[in-house]
Copies of this chain bind each other. A is one copy, B any other.
């Protein structure tokens, strides 16, 4: 559950409280602790300035933990991260790791007694190898910058969370970020071959490899991806690049109902078509986008479905997809050039900003088995009706990932109970349909209450033991993730 940046969402009763850690549990008073970090880091890489702290303590969840962190460490190199974690381990100080702060689940929101470790200064693309189709990057590289660099040499970095132009690859790795192209190209996990990681005790390990295949030892790379900074701090990543698709065809389908659009996506996949993108905006969202941007989507049809095919078979797949859409849609428009495709993609990207104009959005992020997508959308509509809250639904339709966005009155200082109640029903719905409470945004702080229900207590306990094996003193993002 998440709201956008800048809101001052107070803790709601449904969210478990995270105890504020006392400054320096084992290391003396606050002054001694901050002095230890200042001494351990090169000049200019540690700040206790309240304005600087305030600028680096929140993410886009809207969650504001009580109290102010002790300081911010600005890492520029691996040794800085080692220094921070060594001091933190020795003194028992919780470290909240952050990239660009675009997370939607509160994972980077830092409160009293913590230290913020900012990795945005580690933003070099260390290597870009065309021959091996890999890049080696530091965690602070902006994801879209990596893709742009790859495109200059005929390759691409496919994972594209909607935040790609502002989020970092390190944050994407921490949350195993998804995005629009997952059905065809997988989530971040499928593009990460190996990691360089500083463990809680300050030691550096490398995981994985530069090769596509390799089975020596356990898959620590996969375990670290999506672990929300709780197992170690990623200071380098070897990522897989893919050939830049030769051709891309974009189809805009306009439907009378969301169910008709879902039926079209079902028919696409039943036909063996693997779209690179299949984005659905429901009727309310379409109207909001039109109102905000001046677009005229609704004049073609109530519900918008954006489909892209790409690669050597793009045209053939698009021909077939167009026929499938046309049989169910009010209208289908086809684009094979950037000039006409870009406004369609822009409409999808405008969805969230358009909703922000209407109120304070809480972005849910459930995923359900593909066959349950229509049911999920219909049931979300029922939940909105029963609770009386406004819910707008976007979906990565080809992989069953829905974003029901609850929009509440921004004038209300606290989230209304009805909004929390709707969110809880959405989580229960996801689990009932065999899905998950989070497809791509992560648990962070805001979904911890529901995690054990999804995992089961045995798995949850086991995962906590794993966490302790990595971080026995519990300094890494305590209260986040598990």
| Contacts of A285-332 to chain B: CB distance below 8 A | 311-314, 316-317
A206 within 8 A of B: yes
- Would you give the 0/1 interface string for A183-221, flagging 1 where the beta carbon is closer than 8 Å to chain B? 100110110000000010001111101111111111110
A162 sits at the interface (CB 8 A)? no
Task: Select which of B213, B217, B270, B399 is within 8 A of A400 by beta carbon.
Answer: B213
CA distance A367 to B129 in the complex (A): 17
- Select from chain B the residue with minimum beta-carbon distance to A243: B272
User: What's the Cα separation between A438 and B316 when bound, in Å?
Assistant: 39
Q: Which B residues lie within 8 Å of A204 (CB)? A: 458
- Whole-angstrom distance between the Cβ of A6 and the nearest chain B Cβ: 25
Cβ of A441 under 8 Å from chain B: yes
Contact of A442 among B215, B242, B314 (CB under 8 A): B215
Whether a CB of chain B sits under 8 angstroms from the CB of A130 is yes
A357 adjacent to chain B (CB < 8 Å): no
Per the bound structure, the CA–CA distance linking A293 and B79 in Å amounts to: 59
The verdict on A252 contacting chain B, using a C-beta distance below 8 Å, is no
A186 to B175, CA, bound (A): 22
Q: Size band of the A side of the interface? A: 35 or more
Q: Which residues from B are CB-within-8-Å of A218?
A: 223, 226-227, 231, 463, 466-467, 482
In the assembled complex, A436 has its CB within 8 A of some CB on chain B: yes
B222 touches A130 (CB 8 A): no
A256 within 8 A of B: no
Instruction: Say if the beta carbon of A5 comes within 8 Å of chain B.
Output: no
Please report the C-alpha to C-alpha distance between residue A463 and residue B462 in the assembled complex, in whole angstroms. 15
A154 to chain B: closest residue by CB? B272
In Å, the complex CA distance between A446 and B346 comes to 55
Whether A133 pairs with B439 at a CB distance below 8 angstroms is no
Name A222's contact: one of B175, B205, B223, B467 (CB within 8 Å). B223
- Shortest distance in angstroms between A417's beta carbon and chain B's nearest beta carbon? 25
The reply to whether A178 and B213 contact each other, CB–CB distance below 8 Å, is yes
Q: Is the CB of A459 within 8 A of B205?
A: yes
Residues in B whose Cβ lies below 8 Å from that of A400: 211-213
Q: Do B272 and A217 have beta carbons less than 8 Å apart?
A: no
Pick the residue among B207, B213, B367, B434 that contacts A212 (CB under 8 A): B367
Chain B residues with Cβ below 8 Å from A209 are 367, 434-436
Q: Which residues of B contact A272 (CB under 8 A)?
A: 154, 243-244, 246
A458 to B204, CA, bound (A): 8
Q: Give A434-472 as 1s and 0s: 1 = Cβ < 8 Å from B's Cβ atoms.
A: 111111111100010001001110111011011111100
Which residues of chain A in 238-280 are interfacial with respect to chain B, using CB atoms and an 8 Å cutoff? 242-244, 246, 266, 269-270, 272-274
CB <8 Å contact, B436 and A220: no
Residues of chain B with a CB closer than 8 A to A19's CB = none
A480 and B231 CA atoms in complex are apart in Å by 25
Residues from chain B with Cβ under 8 Å of A215 in the complex: 175-176, 226, 436, 438-443
- A370 contacts B by Cβ under 8 Å: yes
A182 at the interface (CB under 8 A from B): yes
Q: How far is the CA of A140 from the CA of B83 in the complex (A)?
A: 49
What residues on B are CB-neighbors of A273 within 8 Å?
A: 243, 312
Q: A243-B273, A270-B130, A459-B206 are in contact. Are A213 and B187 (CB under 8 A)?
A: yes
> Does chain B have a CB within 8 A of A371?
yes
- Residues of chain B lying within 8 A (CB to CB) of residue A219: 176, 189, 222-223, 225-227
In this assembly, does A131 line the interface, its C-beta being within 8 Å of a C-beta of chain B?
yes
Instruction: Find out whether the CB atom of B460 lies under 8 angstroms from the CB atom of A370.
Output: no
A30 interface residue per 8 A CB criterion: no
Question: What 0/1 readout, one digit per residue, does chain A (44-60) give for beta carbons within 8 Å of chain B?
Answer: 00000000000000000
Q: Does A132 reach chain B (CB closer than 8 Å)?
A: yes
* CB proximity to B under 8 Å, residues A319-376: 367-371
A-side residues, CB < 8 A to B, are 129-134, 154, 175-176, 178, 182-183, 186-187, 189-190, 199, 203-207, 209-220, 222-223, 225-227, 231, 242-244, 246, 266, 269-270, 272-274, 311-314, 316-317, 367-371, 396, 399-401, 434-443, 447, 451, 454-456, 458-460, 462-463, 465-470, 481-482
10 new A-B contacts at CB < 8 Å, known A133-B269, A218-B463, A243-B269? A132-B369, A176-B215, A199-B462, A205-B456, A209-B436, A213-B396, A217-B454, A219-B227, A311-B313, A462-B469
